[in-house]
Amino acid sequence: MLKKISGLKKGLIGEIIIPADKSISHRAIMFSSLAKGSCIINNFSGGADCRSTLEIFKELGTDISYTDSKTVKINSDGKLHKPSASLYAGNSGTTTRLISGILAGQNFDSVITGDESLSKRPMKRIITPLSFMGADIESNDGYLPLVIHGKELTGINYESKLASAQVKSCVLLAGLKASGKTTYTEPYRSRNHTELLLDYLGADIKVDGTSVTVCPSELSSKDITVVGDISSAAFFIVAGLITPKSDILMKNVGLNPTRAGIIDIVNRMGGDIEIVDKNIISGEEAGNIRVRYTENLKPCVIEGNDIPRLIDELPVIAVLASQAEGQTVIKNAEDLRNKESDRITSLVSELVKIGIDIEERTDGFVIHGKSKIKGDAILDSKNDHRLAMSFYVAGLVSEQEIGIEGFEWTKISFPEFEELMLNLMTN
């Protein structure tokens, strides 16, 4: 699908409600399926990745049904059951890596498959710690499909060289059924939705700096309300900051400190951003975000412990940096090469086509602002939803029309994206 977009004659004005956080939606289905009892998940994500998780847990014997498009009811006996077929994770790396930790300690065998893109993403990063716990996993040289022979696991003390919430969550979930305690330590603190939700549901879990320890636990069944996804809000934050005359209020956005790195970066760059009406929802911080067009954005360096807090937002941050004065440097982000596409090479090769001065580095990129986005090109999203949406945001301030190939992939994470943008354009 080719989507065309060109510079706006006026700003983006109005209020929008940011859709549900995908990371929390995945975990709400998984953890509630492990708890005995009934519960309601309010504001469940409509993205395809989260539906993959939902369908897999149906295959594993959990009684799951929609009461409306955003509300899910779960009845569980607290146990998973041997699936009758392989478990298809679609495009979702979160689904694959987290359920691997859950399935490794079950009393049955299972097979996880995925689409072409997911089948190219590395799984050795979870296979290694799970194997230390005694898991028996076969793979295609570290890639899907995974054949998991469920067996009893033993808790470990694991130090990771990578700050990854997916790997951390995989190990902690395996630890729920392992004998003894399991401790996971990472170099920087990655997003902590797993820790917060497990604590909310009564798990025996403790956090000490960058280490998390979990002991075998039975989870309680409780209703969960999912906050809005800050990764989705990021596209509107950047669009509002770079599109003249814009003023956007985003409601119900998750403000978890381990995810809200983009807010810190915008503040460093001098962007007009304001957080109001903070509260706590099912253990997660949330609030409303207001952004207004900012003409004189400053450059910055994004590195180290910044990266785990905004890894998914880096493509659209590159667009933001193109409209700042001076040189913005993004480094220590080599894991971008292991996403739905090689996001470093893909992003740089496409943004150059529309006049953005950006250089590829091994672990990131350097953006030289202030670039005029010329447009007059067709950009290949590489079937990567975050690249497609980042290119759309660039198109809002382009001098000529931009075409985006593969725009339909936005439905993977954010099916409401263009509708919300169009609503802001017409106000």
CATH code given to domain 2-20+227-426: 3.65.10.10
| Among candidate residues 361, 333, 332, the one with its CA nearest the CA of residue 348 | 361
Question: What's the pLDDT at 73?
Answer: 98
At 345, is the pLDDT very low, low, confident or very high (cuts 50, 70, 90)? very high
Question: What's the pLDDT at 9?
Answer: 81
Q: What is the mean pLDDT of residues 120-141?
A: 97
Q: Count of alpha carbons within 13 Å of 102, Cβ hemisphere only? A: 28
Helix (H) or strand (E) holding 110: strand 109-113
Q: What is the mean pLDDT of residues 264-271?
A: 98
Q: Is the pLDDT of residue 413 over 90?
A: no
- Tens of pLDDT, residues 193-251: 999 999 999 999 999 999 999 999 999 999 999 999 999 999 999 999 999 999 999 99
What residues contact 68, with CB distance under 8 A and at least 6 apart?
Answer: none
Q: What is the mean pLDDT of residues 414-425?
A: 94
| Cβ–Cβ < 8 Å for 168, 186 | yes
Helix (H) or strand (E) holding 337: none
Question: What's the pLDDT at 426?
Answer: 84
Q: Angle between the 93-103 and 165-175 helix axes, to the nearest 10 degrees?
A: 20
How many Cβ atoms sit within 10 Å of the Cβ of residue 127? 21
Question: What's the pLDDT at 323?
Answer: 98
Q: Angle between the 261-268 and 230-242 helix axes, to the nearest 10 degrees?
A: 20
Q: Is the pLDDT of residue 8 over 90?
A: no
- Tens of pLDDT, residues 55-84: 999 999 999 999 999 999 999 999 999 999
Question: What's the pLDDT at 339?
Answer: 82
Question: What's the pLDDT at 87?
Answer: 98
Q: Which residues are catalytic?
A: 312
List every span in the chain annotated with CATH 3.65.10.10: 2-20+227-426, 22-225
Question: What's the pLDDT at 395?
Answer: 97
Q: What is the mean pLDDT of residues 248-271?
A: 97
Q: Taking the model in full, what pTM does it have?
A: 0.90
- Report the SS3 class of residue 178: coil
Q: Is the pLDDT of residue 341 over 80?
A: no
CATH code given to domain 22-225: 3.65.10.10
| Cβ–Cβ < 8 Å for 155, 175 | yes
Q: Count of alpha carbons within 13 Å of 185, Cβ hemisphere only? A: 6
Question: How far is residue 39's CA from residue 289's CA, in Å, rounded to a whole number?
Answer: 30
Q: What is the mean pLDDT of residues 384-389?
A: 95
